[in-house]
Amino acid sequence: MSSKTSTPHEHHIVSTGTYFVTLIALVVLMIATVAIAQVNLNAIGPFSGTVVNQVIALVIAVAKAMLVITVFMGVKWSTTLTKLWVASGFVTLILLFGILGDYVTRHYEHQSGWEKIEDGSLPRFTPDERTVPGPKSNDLNVKIRQ
Amino acid sequence: MSSTVISPGELKPKPPAEEPNYLNVNHTISSWLLTGDHKRIALLYLVSTSFFFFLGSIAAGLIRYELTSPAGVVLESDTYNKVFTSHGVIMVFTFLVVAIPAIFGNFLVPLMIGARDLAFPRLNLASWYMYMTGGTLILAGMVFGGVDTGWTFYTPYSSMYSNTQVSMVIIGIFIAGFSTITTGINFVVTIHKMRAPGMTWFRLPLFIWAMYATSLMMILATPVVAITLMLVVYERTFKLPIFSPELGGDPVLFQHLFWFYSHPAVYIMILPAFAVVSELIANFSRKRIFGYHFVAFSSLAIAGLGFLVWGHHMFVSSQSMYESIVFSLISFLVAVPSAIKIFNWMATMYKGNVHLQSPMIYAIAFLMIFTVGGLTGLFLGAAGTDVHLTATYFVVAHFHYVMVGGTMLAFLGALHYWWPKMTGRMFSDGIARVNAVIVFVGFNLTFFPQFIVGWLGMPRRYHYYYFAPEFQAYHIMSTLGASVLGLGFILPAFYLTQSLFTGKKASANPWGAHGLEWETSSPPPTSNFLETPIVMDEVYDFDPVSEHARDLRNLQEAEEWKKAHDGMDNLPEEDN
Amino acid sequence: MSAITNSPDHGHGHGHDSALHHQFEDIGQQNESYIVGMWVFLSTEVMFFGALFFIYTLYRWNYQQDFYIAHEHLNVIMGAVNTTVLLFSSFTMVMAVQSAQLKKRGHVIGYLLMTIACACVFLIIKYFEYSSKLADHLYPGAGFATDAQAAFGEHAIEAGKVAVNMNHAQLFYSLYFGMTGLHAVHIIAGILVIGALIRLWFNNAKSVTLDFVPTEMVGLYWHFVDLVWIFLFPLFYLMPKPH
């Protein structure tokens, strides 16, 4: 595919009406999110009310973001290349959130590490009783002169 | 060579003494410092990165000197910490990440795709100024007291306890990081939008594929380390608790965020080297790269998988064991695309018409050294063995094998290969070949003993080892090797600079290579091509018959073949 | 490689009256390059802010109770007004871009001025928010643990009993000031860039009048700044009460 000639950037001029309706939608969503946040929702299934609240707030935020991105930033009418680059930042950000995997799985085994300081005492260290402490001497069989 | 056989660069009538090219079109200082020409900016980068490399090597020399005796020689422990930190910071942030992309990427990307310039020339110039500002701040930090945290700036030492110039150096790295980001933006847009007519994705040189993959990582990973390092500065300045364990923060969080960038960073350092080696091996074997699609996609695979393996730097950091398993597995997977490249390069050389000129010697040395470096990475990628090898000289040897033996060798190979194109002068290939061997010998002498002494238990970043004096023999061998290696790095500065004055003028295509950059004069005119090229075939379209023309006694046969192909093949010039 | 060269292409639109830069073939290629380039830059900003959002997510997940207590001092009304102001400024910005497409210079300048006005209102409200935090000693620093106790009222440390962990509250405020502060820096940069754009339009500079894409690029940056706030607002100001 030659890149020499390309369709000129969309001279598709979006109408003022579309922009205005989008603005109204955004403001409505904002009012909704504030209103819902004042209410302590009930639990749904295994998810506590707090989690439900947070999820709803995030869903509304994502909806607002999608409106801004697709309409105000014109991505709805843009080329595939642009859409790919819009997505790539967020996809990589999701990869970054993979760091949470460490924190979620750290306490599966009773490992020491980053523990909450509850009453100002030192962090708890709970060595797993099943582990056998390794030999004190060097296990590489390297003679170390004292 | 008969006078009826001409190479394409000389199809036009012989130029007069000094044809206008990008070098001689304007001689004022401001025409260099305010240029938008990607070729001039590449030369600006060449001079500045060489300067930083020189400073980093002085630090390396000090380290090697210090380690020749078990009790140290001249440095205090604190000073030694500052020396190895400056070696790491300067080499990583001001040289390795920058060198091949900013010099050869800037110079060659528009040429190889048939464009007049990069997409954003002024941004390119701004990128160089950001690099210089960042580099200067880093050096200022080193001069005004240095930093002793290691180039990895682990918290809470860097954020709370170190009394050194951490903030200044970090701000320098931050600014230099933006240079990287803008270079990446430029490359991505240029490669997508400015290819010449007929230059489809699969007709591109593999150099471009690798540069694209590098740019992906530059763009998406660098901001993470930028904000992470800035948080360290905020923590130092305002006593914030973000990474401090006493105040509820997690120091390992810093390591996660730091390595989320720094692992892709090492691929940013090596992928351009792969880019160069693809070009060298194809052109000096006079053969199409074996498995072009595999090599192209492997660059993208390395970029993609490179984002998923950062935890293999943290096996002993109290990271969750389950994460370690996942990272270990993916680290083994990411070795596969690199191996694919190595095998494809070797298959390219097999039954090729191999010309052992100096760039090719660097490329072959790369194959050998990088393979060793990559294989030793597997010992480190397996979590179990890593527990014994981490923070020893085994790790140091591994990454120097891939960084110096990989990136530096490719850098030197690229410098020699494209020197005639960039400067219009040929250097003496005889000296260059000898130098390549010196570098190879010196390199192995320096770093192979480090594998052994690391496996035996020598810790890294220690400036004495009086508890194990038997390591001294290895350290002395390593220091001797470093002296040889240093010679191999210094000599090109002399013979290449000398070629600027006394070297013979280079034709458009002195190596007989394929690629759009070889179809314009050496040095190229400011707008790269006098006329926009239209691409008809892939770049590595070496014809097996004509490329073995040195064996063809029947020149008539060669000329008939030439006529049948519109006279557009390249017969190699005699080498000196 | 085989390549035929064709006649030079320099005639097309590279004259004085053109906004076409020398490295591009036609205005379509140039415009697409600028738009894609701007989005590539915005993806770096996504990662830049994104890392901070990640740190916030991690710490809030681990210290939910303390973050909730700490966040109660944030003024939701001011936050909501700020959100509305920024959303409206996005609207005026996109109207400015539309006017640039329609070559209506007066409208462009008008809408851009309104955008700057909204940004200034945002910063003024932010100033009041920050001032009240500073007055209550709710800013992170070495003295937080003692200075900020008064602000937490019935949650303050009583003898032997800690209801809110001051360190975690300090963490909350570090992230609050860090992220909203970085956002404010981006707002200020945006004001400066939009100001420069207004000046170019005012002077009828060819770089902006002949082609709307420079205005659109500034618009993209501004919408991104709005996007960040769209996520900052619910995450900091609208926390649900943990059980």
From CA A136, how far away is CA A140, in angstroms rounded?
12
From CA B376, how far away is CA B14, in angstroms rounded?
52
- Pairing of β B533-535 and β C3-5: antiparallel
Q: How much of chain B exceeds pLDDT 70, in percent?
A: 92
For residue range B342-363, what is the model confidence (pLDDT) as tens digits?
Answer: 999 999 998 888 999 999 999 9
Considering only the beta carbons, identify the residue of C47, C213, C230 that sits closest to A89: C47
Enumerate the domain spans of chain A.
14-77, 79-131
Four-CA torsion B201, B207, B209, B215, nearest 10 degrees = -130
Considering only the beta carbons, identify the residue of B198, B257, B307 that sits closest to A95: B307
From CA C101, how far away is CA C213, in angstroms rounded?
8
B568 touching C, CB under 8 A? yes
Please say if the pLDDT value at position B561 is more than 80.
no
Considering only the beta carbons, identify the residue of C42, C95, C239 that sits closest to A19: C95
Which amino acid makes up residue A17?
G
From CA B199, how far away is CA B515, in angstroms rounded?
12
pLDDT, position C6: 43
- Among candidate residues B124, B529, B518, B200, the one with its CA nearest the CA of residue A4: B200
Tokens of B369: 């050294």
- A2 or B107: which leads in pLDDT: B107
Q: Which residues of C touch B114 (CB under 8 A)?
A: 3
Under an 8 A CB cutoff, do B242 and C174 touch? yes
Mean pLDDT of B306-332: 93
Give the confidence band of B21 by pLDDT, cuts at 50, 70, 90: confident
- Among candidate residues B106, B103, B24, B125, the one with its CA nearest the CA of residue B500: B24
CATH superfamily of the domain spanning B33-527+534-542: Cytochrome c oxidase-like, subunit I domain (1.20.210.10)
Lowest mean pLDDT among B12-16, B258-262, B383-387, B571-575: B571-575
Please say if the pLDDT value at position A140 is more than 60.
no
Please say if the pLDDT value at position A4 is more than 60.
no
Q: Does domain C46-237 have CATH number 3.40.50.10860?
A: no
- B404 or A116: which leads in pLDDT: B404
- DSSP code, position C239: P
- C65 or C189: which leads in pLDDT: C189
From CA C8, how far away is CA B446, in angstroms rounded?
53
Lowest mean pLDDT among B130-134, B440-444, B526-530, C89-93: B526-530
pLDDT, position B545: 60
Residues forming beta bridges with residue C3, ordered by sequence position: B535
B248 touching C, CB under 8 A? yes
For residue range A93-131, what is the model confidence (pLDDT) as tens digits?
Answer: 999 999 998 888 887 765 445 555 555 554 444 444 334
Question: Cβ(A71)–Cβ(A14) under 8 Å?
Answer: yes
From CA B89, how far away is CA B83, in angstroms rounded?
10
Give the confidence band of B9 by pLDDT, cuts at 50, 70, 90: low
Q: Which residues of B touch C141 (CB under 8 A)?
A: 238-240
pLDDT, position B473: 95
pLDDT, position C146: 80
Mean pLDDT of B405-424: 96
Enumerate the domain spans of chain C.
46-237
For residue range B110-127, what is the model confidence (pLDDT) as tens digits?
Answer: 999 999 999 999 999 999
Lowest mean pLDDT among B213-222, B275-284, B334-343, C61-70: C61-70
Give the confidence band of B93 by pLDDT, cuts at 50, 70, 90: very high
pLDDT, position A7: 43
From CA B302, how far away is CA B334, in angstroms rounded?
6
pLDDT, position B534: 87
For residue range B270-300, what is the model confidence (pLDDT) as tens digits?
Answer: 999 999 999 999 999 988 899 999 999 999 9
Chain A residue with CA closest to C45: the answer is A89
From CA B405, how far away is CA C153, in angstroms rounded?
63
Under an 8 A CB cutoff, do B307 and A92 touch? yes
Question: Cβ(B234)–Cβ(C178) under 8 Å?
Answer: yes
Chain-centre distance for alpha carbon B378: 22
For residue range C7-30, what is the model confidence (pLDDT) as tens digits?
Answer: 444 444 555 557 788 889 888 899
Chain B residue with CA closest to A3: the answer is B193
Dmax of chain A from CA atoms? Answer: 84
Give the confidence band of B399 by pLDDT, cuts at 50, 70, 90: very high
Give the confidence band of A47 by pLDDT, cuts at 50, 70, 90: confident
Name the helix (H) or strand (E) containing B214. Answer: helix B206-238
Question: Cβ(B180)–Cβ(B98) under 8 Å?
Answer: yes
Enumerate the domain spans of chain B.
33-527+534-542, 543-576
Min CA distance, C136 vs chain A (Å)? 24
C226 touching A, CB under 8 A? yes
Tokens of B163: 């009394």
* Best mutation target, B116, B194, B219, B256, to test chain A (most A CBs within 10 A): B256
Which amino acid makes up residue B205?
P
From CA A62, how far away is CA A60, in angstroms rounded?
5
Under an 8 A CB cutoff, do B319 and A142 touch? no
Backbone angles phi, psi at C73, to 5 degrees: -80, -5
Lowest mean pLDDT among B455-469, C43-57, C105-119, C130-144: C130-144
Give the confidence band of B550 by pLDDT, cuts at 50, 70, 90: very low
Give the confidence band of B446 by pLDDT, cuts at 50, 70, 90: very high
pLDDT, position B544: 63
Considering only the beta carbons, identify the residue of C43, C95, C231 that sits closest to A16: C95
Please say if the pLDDT value at position B543 is more than 50.
yes
Q: Which residues of A touch C242 (CB under 8 A)?
A: 50
Please say if the pLDDT value at position B337 is more than 90.
yes
pLDDT, position C51: 96
Mean pLDDT of B550-563: 61
Report the interhelical angle of B393-402 vs B429-455 (nearest 10°).
Answer: 160
Under an 8 A CB cutoff, do A49 and C243 touch? yes
Under an 8 A CB cutoff, do B121 and C23 touch? yes
pLDDT, position B210: 95
From CA B380, how far away is CA B395, in angstroms rounded?
7
Distances (CA, A) of A114 to A111, A125, B320: 9, 10, 11
Under an 8 A CB cutoff, do B248 and C167 touch? yes
Question: Cβ(B296)–Cβ(B202) under 8 Å?
Answer: yes
Residue-by-residue DSSP string for B296-341: HHHHHHHHHHHTT-GGGG-TTTT--HHHHHHHHHHHHHHHHHHHHH
From CA C76, how far away is CA A57, in angstroms rounded?
14
Please say if the pLDDT value at position A5 is more than 60.
no
Q: How much of chain B exceeds pLDDT 90, in percent?
A: 76
Please say if the pLDDT value at position A11 is more than 80.
no
pLDDT, position B573: 46
Which amino acid makes up residue B314?
M
Please say if the pLDDT value at position B553 is more than 70.
no
Q: In 3-state terms, what secondary structure has residue B252?
A: helix
Question: Cβ(B78)–Cβ(B463) under 8 Å?
Answer: no
From CA B422, how far away is CA B427, in angstroms rounded?
12
Tokens of A71: 């309409």
Name the helix (H) or strand (E) containing B535. Answer: strand B533-535
Considering only the beta carbons, identify the residue of B253, B321, B457 that sits closest to A142: B457
For residue range C195-226, what is the model confidence (pLDDT) as tens digits?
Answer: 999 999 999 988 888 889 999 999 999 999 99
Mean pLDDT of A46-50: 81
Q: Which residues of B touch C142 (CB under 8 A)?
A: 239
Tokens of A53: 């609240």
Give the confidence band of C5 by pLDDT, cuts at 50, 70, 90: very low
pLDDT, position C14: 58
Mean pLDDT of C147-158: 67
Average pLDDT, chain B: 91
Tokens of A72: 């105000």
pLDDT, position B538: 80
pLDDT, position B567: 47
pLDDT, position B179: 96
Distance between the two ends of chain B, CA-based, in angstroms? Answer: 13
pLDDT, position A88: 93
Rg (CA), chain A: 27
From CA C231, how far away is CA B338, in angstroms rounded?
39
Mean pLDDT of A15-19: 92
pLDDT, position C159: 41
- Among candidate residues B432, B430, B403, B401, the one with its CA nearest the CA of residue B416: B432
Please say if the pLDDT value at position B565 is more than 80.
no
Backbone angles phi, psi at B284, to 5 degrees: -90, -5
Q: How much of chain C exceeds pLDDT 70, in percent?
A: 88
For residue range B51-60, what is the model confidence (pLDDT) as tens digits?
Answer: 999 999 999 9
Question: Cβ(B285)–Cβ(B354) under 8 Å?
Answer: yes
Residues forming beta bridges with residue B533, ordered by sequence position: C5
Please say if the pLDDT value at position B161 is more than 80.
yes
Which amino acid makes up residue A35?
A
Please say if the pLDDT value at position B152 is more than 90.
yes
B449: Cβ contacts below 8 Å, ≥ 6 apart: B474, B475, B477, B478, B481
From CA B176, how far away is CA B268, in angstroms rounded?
15
Chain A residue with CA closest to C84: the answer is A27
Backbone angles phi, psi at C103, to 5 degrees: 60, 35
Task: Identify the residue whose tokens are 């033996």.
Answer: B405
Distances (CA, A) of B485 to A55, B93, B499: 59, 22, 22
